[in-house]
Amino acid sequence: MIEDPISFEVIKNALISCAREMSQALRRTAFSPNIKERRDCSCALFDKDGHLIAQSKDIPVHLGAMPLSVKSCIRALDRNLEEGTMALLNDPYSGGSHLPDLTLVAPVFVEGERVAFTANRAHHADIGGVSPGSMPGLSTSIHEEGVIIKPRIIVENDNLQKHAITDILSGTLTPDERIGDLSAQIAANHVGIARLREVGNIHQWPDLIRTFQELQDYSANRMRNALAKYKGQTASFSDTLDSDGAGNWEIPISVSLTISNAGAIVDFQGTSEQVNGNVNCPIASTLSSVYYVFIALFGKDIPVNEGCWSVIEVKIPEGSLLNPMYPAAVSAGNVETSQRIVDVTLGAFSEIAPNLVPAASQGTMNNLTIGGIDPRIGKAFSFYETIGGGSGASKGNEGASGIHTHMTNTLNTPIESLETEYPLMVHAYSIRKGTGGDGQWRGGDGIIREIEIRGEGCTISIQSERRRSQPWGLNGGGNGESGRNALVYEGKVHALEAKSTVLAPNGAIVRIETPGGGGWGPPASD
Amino acid sequence: MFIMRMIGVDVGGTFTDVIMVDSKTGIEYVHKVPSTPESQDKAVTKGVTEILEMNYINSQSIELVVHGTTVATNAMLERKGAKVVLLTTEGLEDVLEIGRQNRDDIYSLRAERAEPLVDRTNRIGVHERLNSEGKALIELTDATISSVISKATASQPDSIAVSLLFSYQNQEHERRLLKAINASSEVYAVASSNILPEFREFERTSTTVLEAYLGPLVAGYLQRLDTSLSSICPKSRLTVMQSNGGTMLASRAKGQTIGLAISGLASGAIGGWEYAKQWSIPRAITLDMGGTSCDISAIMGNVVVKPDNEVGGLPLRVPSVDVKTIGAGGGSIAWIDTASVLHVGPQSAGAFPGPAAYGKGGKDATVTDANLVLGRLNPEFFLGGNVPLDLDSAHESISKISSCLDLTNEETALGIIRISTANMVNAIREVTLERGSDPRKFTLIPFGGAGPTQAIDIAEALGINEVLVPPYPGITSALGLVCTDLRVDVMKTVLLVDDARNEETLLSTFSALENEAAERLIRQGASRKEIRLKWKIDMRYVGQSHELNIDIPEEGTNIVERSKSEFERAHHESFGYIMSNREIEWVTARVVAKSESGEFRPIKHRVNVTSEPIGQRRVLLADGTWMMADVYRRWDLAAKQEIVGPAIIEQLDTTTYVTPDWNATQENDGVLWLRRDER
């Protein structure tokens, strides 16, 4: 029972505001375009056990995965997480997702007692490894993907301890930018701690801490009630990943759903074993993708916190594509496989709740990384971005064109930022007309983006999907068109694979054409 | 600036309110005429003409007319702006449509975007290219210019927006295009390097397009109004309220019409807050409920100007007073959907035909009809008797709904008020609760013609115990207009990195900006010695792309050192750290110039004989029981007189309804306080 509904609402929103202000501080103080312009970062608050209690609406794949990071810090460091410290991690095998995502966790103390945590995750544009940008097209072991950071304290007495990050700074191509971005992450936690203290002072700490639990119970109840309508129903669905970049093609992902009184069981039995390439998806990212689907379908108005997920049981065999074992390569799992997990889970729900579920969206993030030496200043650079595509149509709504869908919501890099900061030039940025699936409601169209490399010896890495398969339509709607990657040099077009790493000559243009979304309902016959 | 006589005119969806202030005598005159939405200036000139005639004022004595208009807001909401052609760098024609590629709600499976204001066929690529330093990679040739202009004018647009990549670094290409357009046609043309000389091509382009979209309509409207007002008040200047809460000369609106996006909304928050200041109220919710819409602002400490805003899904990179508007007013229409659910608004019956009770042909039941059926309004004294209300017509309109719902007319009327209240309550929750503040700690300040009639319903729903009703609720927005300062904002991007010569550069930049701002204010009628100037500079560490806005106390030297230490202090305060070995960058220098209007003078409520009720009226309470309520006239109440609910307090421009459990106190500065009994 909620004792005081108005205070409950005030506190709930005050906590969300804390998280939002953290996000603002993070991007306002960040140095790399991927964070300051594209906002590839997320912030949230946790109770003393690492349960999510409030989040800023940032990047879905980050948000659902962060609780495991916080819990992993608590487990690994426990008492060392003293007042004024913050802990960093990126290890996908202890609460991380892929190596470029650095998560910084800070305890919040009140009168000597640890009562909560703030945490934020930001995608760093380079963290070492075999190719600039740490998103290699073809890696087969996590050791090729960058510096692995197990939970470790890097801030003491509120200050960054440079000696604690020497391996990171020597591993990366861009150490100055890393320090700048880490400082921004520290700033975000400082802001979160300060704001949370204000909320605690206004509402009294014991009440606030009680509300942490009330919030989770409330959301769990609401989610259970939302699912109750479908109890006793089961469904299953399968789809594939195009490739792993290491010789495996059409890698299956299967799911079966069971809805009961207690909630839902999501079972990935039938999914591929872990593979050699880098599409293995760490468990935190897998869970995050499943949770996203439940919130998107049933969570309207339900405050997002750990309670929502407590009614969902996810079964993933160890050593599978969606719960890989060390030292599997994982860099594309978080960004590409996560999208397919959403597709199959939504696909299964389309059998149970056909009118709620949209056709498949582009099903990829189109990760593009370019690195090398900037001839204008003679220093190394590393550029990373993801590119929107078509969203799937749904009953009553056309899909949107050129938009990010499902597990990401990063902004584009403004061309004026991109060309100022990197030796690159954008030749085209346009809607890829006619690529959305046909239907009573049409899928959204993809994007065409062309970027010229204006420097010698730059490396281009691409991690993309839906280059062979197509985003499916629903209820008779047509499929969206597949995407395409190419390198254009001296007038010749060279097709590139879905996962590629290539050395590009000066003047080469990389062209990414992103998939359209599926259509919904049969097209008008005339 | 000392002005003898000034007029404020605020246009609402239903009524146009006029206030005239004589600063010598301190007397205020008020008037109200039905709005003329097809051409707002008609009602404005009518209202100004009538207020002068009714009060025997010499029109030569009016020195200033301040105007709040919704022409721009409505054009954005209804997408009825100009037909725009966009000229942009070749290859990037879709930037406007793709936006920033993100969606508003991360959990929405049905993400939708506002349609771009210019469709693909009217977005024309220009063969030219600047690099990030502003040097031409592809020169803009005269042949290109003439070919794109003939393409652009072929579709006969109302306006042309020019937005080229990196134009904030080098205006040359945009300037040449603009010059050629102006040489070959009369069309309203704007360039992004003038409208928003900042990096980020989408934000700059969409803001420039919006200026082109609003400009012909808004600038044309103001020009027309200026002409007709100067024939009525030949010695007066016309200024117009900007979204940022300052005013500017109407004749200078060209190229700055996006600054008027919420012109008509900002003044309500300012007018309402004047009373909060007078009573030292720390937190207030201003609620301006007219005939068509309700404008809400939660104000803590001072009226907040946000750096950007959004109207009808269109982003605006223009400073704006923080106001939320919803379609809820006295004229909001009640209707039933296909599932037999009752809704109220956002459609409004407006001034014509108006609510059914106006008897002007309106058949739809509105909030005003419901209030009449519930006994809250006086059929003979609505708007001081200027608009007689017909109870039978109100019943007839409501009966169409009650028969569908199988309810009595009275139950339906209660339902209409409950839903309309809930709509406003939700909007208030958005600006308080959802930002983490507790609405129970705010004072509600209801005004507009319909606000005080429903104020206690709203306060009850939010747990608010104190309500302040201004002396003339119907014209509080117009009052906000005459309390507003003349304001000019100027800026220049400097992009300086720590260097010995910065002191000189900054000083000369600021003094040039000061001169420019002062000149512009003087042209608007300010006298030089009354101008107050503020220096600000946006600063960051080299490599960041968001700045902190630093105030610099003007005059004196040492700008570099003072701004640096202030920047470090602010960075530490906001983010908890400084980076002592990073270079600092000065990005944009800004000067804000203001000339204060005559100060707000509270009126004096001089009646000291306690007033008896002029009668009694049956009102239907929320629980469905009828009760007799005493009816009073607001101007007959004695200062400090207390009234116990249920009661109705009528005045020319509104009706205040006091429910049981509440009481009212008329104060000697004209304000009426409503307070809830102990819970």
Domain shared by B72 and B94, yes or no: no
**Which residue in A129, A138, A164, A167 sits closest to A382, CA to CA?**
A129
Task: Please tell me if residue B110 touches chain A, with a CB cutoff of 8 Å.
Answer: yes
- CA–CA distance, A508 with A454 (Å, rounded to integer): 8
For tokens 């009553």, the residue is: A396
Task: Please tell me if residue B95 touches chain A, with a CB cutoff of 8 Å.
Answer: yes
Q: Which residues in chain B touch residue A176, judged by CB atoms under 8 angstroms apart?
A: 543
Nearest to B166 among A28, A410, A416 (CB): A416
Q: Which residues in chain A touch residue B108, judged by CB atoms under 8 angstroms apart?
A: 296
> Residue B267 contacts by C-beta under 8 Å, 6 or more apart in sequence?
B8, B10, B68, B241, B477, B478, B480, B481, B484
Instruction: For residue B338, count CB atoms less than 10 angstroms from its CB and return exposed for 0-12, middle for 13-18, buried for 19 or more.
Output: exposed
For B602, other C-beta atoms within 10 Å of its C-beta total 16
Contact status, residue B659 vs residue B645, Cβ threshold 8 Å: yes
Task: Please tell me if residue A471 touches chain B, with a CB cutoff of 8 Å.
Answer: no
Instruction: Output the tens digit of pLDDT for each of chain A's 526 residues.
Output: 566 777 788 888 889 989 999 999 999 999 999 999 999 999 999 999 999 999 998 999 999 999 999 999 999 999 999 999 999 999 999 989 999 999 999 999 999 999 999 999 999 999 999 999 999 999 999 999 999 999 999 999 999 999 999 999 999 999 999 999 999 999 999 999 999 998 998 889 999 999 999 999 999 999 999 999 999 999 999 999 999 999 999 999 999 999 998 999 999 999 999 999 999 999 999 999 999 999 999 998 899 999 999 999 999 999 999 999 999 999 999 999 999 999 999 999 999 999 999 999 999 999 999 999 999 999 999 999 999 999 999 999 999 999 999 999 999 999 999 999 999 999 999 999 999 999 999 999 999 999 999 999 999 999 999 999 999 999 999 999 999 999 999 999 999 999 999 999 999 999 999 999 999 999 987 5
Nearest to B106 among A387, A409, A429 (CB): A409
Domain that holds residue B226: 5-76+219-263
**What string of DSSP letters covers B414-457?**
HHHHHHHHHHHHHHHHHHTGGGT--GGGSEEEEETTTHHHHHHH
- CA–CA distance, B86 with B125 (Å, rounded to integer): 8
**Segment (H or E) for B593:** strand B584-595
A397/B579 touch (CB, cutoff 8 Å), yes or no: no
What pLDDT shows up at residue B574? 87
A429/B103 touch (CB, cutoff 8 Å), yes or no: no
Domain boundary among B370, B390, B419: B419
Instruction: For residue A273, count CB atoms less than 10 angstroms from its CB and return exposed for 0-12, middle for 13-18, buried for 19 or more.
Output: exposed
A415/B95 touch (CB, cutoff 8 Å), yes or no: yes
Q: Is residue B469 part of a domain?
A: no
A416/B201 touch (CB, cutoff 8 Å), yes or no: yes
Give the rounded distance of the alpha carbon of A146 from its chain centre.
18
Contact status, residue B93 vs residue B37, Cβ threshold 8 Å: no
A416/B165 touch (CB, cutoff 8 Å), yes or no: yes
A417/B436 touch (CB, cutoff 8 Å), yes or no: no
B546/A37 touch (CB, cutoff 8 Å), yes or no: no
Contact status, residue B552 vs residue B562, Cβ threshold 8 Å: yes
Is the ipTM higher than 0.85? The answer is yes
Chain B nearest C-alpha distance from A250 (Å) = 26
Domain boundary among B194, B211, B228: B211
A191/B202 touch (CB, cutoff 8 Å), yes or no: no
Which chain B residue shows the shortest CA-CA distance from A298? B107
Domain shared by B97 and B207, yes or no: yes
Give the three-class secondary structure for B406.
coil
Domain shared by B243 and B352, yes or no: no
H helical segments located in A229-304: 283-298
Contact status, residue B327 vs residue B292, Cβ threshold 8 Å: yes
Sign of the CA dihedral with A21 first, then A24, A28, and A34 last: positive
What pLDDT shows up at residue B436? 78
- CA–CA distance, B102 with A407 (Å, rounded to integer): 12
Domain shared by B92 and B68, yes or no: no
CATH of the domain at B514: 3.30.1490
Q: Is residue B232 part of a domain?
A: yes
Cis preceding-peptide flag for B646 (omega within 30 of 0): yes
Domain shared by B64 and B98, yes or no: no
Which chain A residue shows the shortest CA-CA distance from B462? A6
Q: Is residue B652 part of a domain?
A: yes
Q: Is residue B570 part of a domain?
A: yes
Q: Is residue B160 part of a domain?
A: yes
Domain shared by B86 and B68, yes or no: no
Q: What is the pLDDT of residues B600-652, one digit of tens each?
A: 667 778 888 999 999 999 999 988 999 999 999 998 999 999 999 999 999 98
Q: How many domains does chain B have?
A: 5
**Segment (H or E) for A177:** helix A175-203
- CA–CA distance, B410 with B223 (Å, rounded to integer): 48
Which phi and psi (to 5°) does residue A484 adopt?
-145, 145
Q: Is residue B207 part of a domain?
A: yes
> Residue A113 contacts by C-beta under 8 Å, 6 or more apart in sequence?
none
Strands A379-385 and B548-552: unpaired
Which chain B residue shows the shortest CA-CA distance from A181? B544
- Given a cut of 70, the residues of chain B with pLDDT beneath it are 1-3, 554-556, 597-601
Chain B nearest C-alpha distance from A279 (Å) = 24
Q: Is residue B607 part of a domain?
A: no
Domain shared by B72 and B87, yes or no: no
Domain shared by B145 and B199, yes or no: yes
CATH of the domain at B141: 3.40.50
> Residue B529 contacts by C-beta under 8 Å, 6 or more apart in sequence?
none
In DSSP terms, A424 is beta-bridged to: A453
Sign of the CA dihedral with A423 first, then A427, A430, and A432 last: negative
Which chain B residue shows the shortest CA-CA distance from A60? B106
Contact status, residue A308 vs residue A294, Cβ threshold 8 Å: yes
Q: Which residues in chain B touch residue A36, judged by CB atoms under 8 angstroms apart?
A: 544-546
Q: Which residues in chain A touch residue B576, judged by CB atoms under 8 angstroms apart?
A: 158, 186-187, 190-191, 194
Sign of the CA dihedral with B419 first, then B423, B424, and B425 last: positive
Chain B nearest C-alpha distance from A460 (Å) = 22
Q: Which residues in chain B touch residue A37, judged by CB atoms under 8 angstroms apart?
A: 200, 545
- CA–CA distance, A208 with A206 (Å, rounded to integer): 5
Task: Please tell me if residue A207 touches chain B, with a CB cutoff of 8 Å.
Answer: no
Which phi and psi (to 5°) does residue B145 adopt?
-55, -50
Give the three-class secondary structure for B541.
strand
Domain shared by B232 and B207, yes or no: no
- CA–CA distance, B191 with B623 (Å, rounded to integer): 60
Nearest to B575 among A33, A187, A297 (CB): A187
Q: Which site among B100, B138, B206, B430 would you substitute to test the A interface, given the most A Cβ atoms closer than 10 Å to its Cβ?
A: B100
Domain shared by B532 and B643, yes or no: no
Domain shared by B193 and B102, yes or no: yes
Give the three-class secondary structure for B323.
coil
A60/B92 touch (CB, cutoff 8 Å), yes or no: no
> Residue A296 contacts by C-beta under 8 Å, 6 or more apart in sequence?
B107, B108, B109
Contact status, residue A478 vs residue A518, Cβ threshold 8 Å: yes
Domain boundary among B195, B211, B227: B211
B201/A186 touch (CB, cutoff 8 Å), yes or no: no
Nearest to B546 among A7, A16, A28 (CB): A28
Contact status, residue B345 vs residue B329, Cβ threshold 8 Å: yes
Structure letter (DSSP) for residue B154: H
What pLDDT shows up at residue B1? 47
Contact status, residue B80 vs residue B48, Cβ threshold 8 Å: no
- Angle of CA points B578, B581, B584, to nearest 5°: 70
Nearest to A430 among B93, B435, B571 (CB): B93
Give the three-class secondary structure for A309.
helix
Q: Which domains does chain A have, with CATH numbers?
A: 5-219 (3.30.450), 358-526 (no CATH)
Contact status, residue B558 vs residue B506, Cβ threshold 8 Å: no
Give the three-class secondary structure for B655.
strand
Q: Which residues in chain A touch residue B132, judged by CB atoms under 8 angstroms apart?
A: 416, 419-420
B436/A14 touch (CB, cutoff 8 Å), yes or no: yes
CATH of the domain at B70: 3.30.420.40
The encoded tokens of residue B465 equal 């115990």
B103/A158 touch (CB, cutoff 8 Å), yes or no: no
> Residue B278 contacts by C-beta under 8 Å, 6 or more apart in sequence?
B600, B602, B669, B671
Contact status, residue B386 vs residue B256, Cβ threshold 8 Å: no
| Beta strands per DSSP E along B330-419 | 332-336, 342-348
Which phi and psi (to 5°) does residue A268 adopt?
-95, 25
What pLDDT shows up at residue B317? 83
Which chain A residue shows the shortest CA-CA distance from B572? A187
What pLDDT shows up at residue B3? 63
What's this model's pTM, rounded to 2 decimal places?
Answer: 0.90
- CA–CA distance, A506 with A425 (Å, rounded to integer): 12
Structure letter (DSSP) for residue B653: T
Q: Is residue B545 part of a domain?
A: yes
**Which residue in B86, B475, B567, B500 sits closest to B272, CA to CA?**
B475
For tokens 């700055």, the residue is: B256
Nearest to A414 among B105, B120, B200 (CB): B200
- Which 3-state string (H, E, C) describes B468-520? EECCCHHHHHHHHHHCCCEEEEEEEEEEEECCCCHHHHHHHHHHHHHHHHHHH
In DSSP terms, B68 is beta-bridged to: B10
Contact status, residue B32 vs residue B475, Cβ threshold 8 Å: yes
Contact status, residue B500 vs residue B561, Cβ threshold 8 Å: no
> Residue B211 contacts by C-beta under 8 Å, 6 or more apart in sequence?
B161, B190, B195, B255, B256, B257, B258
In DSSP terms, A257 is beta-bridged to: A235, A266
Which chain A residue shows the shortest CA-CA distance from B166? A416
> Residue B326 contacts by C-beta under 8 Å, 6 or more apart in sequence?
B293, B294, B296, B345, B346, B423, B424, B427
For A233, other C-beta atoms within 10 Å of its C-beta total 16
Domain shared by B574 and B587, yes or no: yes
